[in-house]
Homo-oligomer: A and B are copies of this chain.
Amino acid sequence: MDAGKPRSISAARPSGRGAPGKRPQEKQGASRKAGNVERKQAILRAALSVFAERGFESARLDDVAARAGVAKGTLYLYFDDKEKLFEEVVQSEVSPILDRIGALASARDMPIEKILEALFQVFEKEVLGTERKHLLRLIIAEGPRFPHIAELYFRNVIGRAMPLISRMAAQAVVRGELQSDALVRFPQLVGAPLLFAVVWDSMFARLQPLDVAGFFAAHRETLVGKMRRTRP
């Protein structure tokens, strides 16, 4: 071994970290601090894909680093540990959903049928149509062992969406659009098919595809009552 340099005795530094042009080259002002946002985002994206694919335990941080195009040590410049990284992945994906929920609130006076249609459509496009669907499955899978994450998700998404739906349903009942107050008492009725669609998609789609749009439509139909008009 070539001793000489400190660093243990195996300073064999092979390729001497060849990869030269790797520096981010931040824009002017350069926040060279530990805060290269772009790189952090790259890590988060890589982490989502690895976690989604393998689950929290089997996800290897070496893979995350590789996919993000950084060295493993770099991960620790941005995140305290694996668990924290996972939390931030969840957080970062939950935020956009929050916005969508907010948008819903403003649609309060539309007919309930339209609202549900819009809601399901957003879900189909923004969750089922993206990697976010894996995140949802991930939360289900790991939630029980990460109460903190379950709580985060509940407080930010579920806990906000439920009362909102309940309130809109109540208005619909008053307006005579809904015959039953089932949806008022159990806004979860809206969430069930969403969850189901995600699970089916990730597990059984391969064995038997589900016509998600049709499924959602059928569900809306039962919710709204669709009183089979026989002729006005």
Contact = CB atoms under 8 A, between A and B. Distances in A.
A81 interface: no
Contacts of A144: 137, 202-203
Contact of A188 (B188, B191, B215, B223): B215
Contact of A179 (B1, B140, B180, B227): B227
B222 A189 contact: yes
Contact of A57 (B57, B188, B193, B231): B57
Given A189-B218, A192-B195, A204-B154, A58 B1 contact: yes
Contacts of A214: 185-186
Contact of A222 (B207, B223, B231): B223
A134 to B, nearest CB: 8
A114 interface: no
A33 interface: no
A220 to B, nearest CB: 9
A189 B231 CA distance: 25
A3 B62 CA distance: 12
State the majority secondary structure of interface residues on A. Answer: helix
A140 B195 CA distance: 11
A81 to B, nearest CB: 15
Chain A, interface size: which category? 35 or more
A164 to B, nearest CB: 15
A175 interface: no
A4 interface: yes
Nearest to A185: B218
Interface string A143-161: 1110100110010001100
Contact of A191 (B158, B179, B189, B196): B196
Interface in A7-62: 54-55, 57-58, 60
Contact of A231 (B158, B179, B192, B227): B227
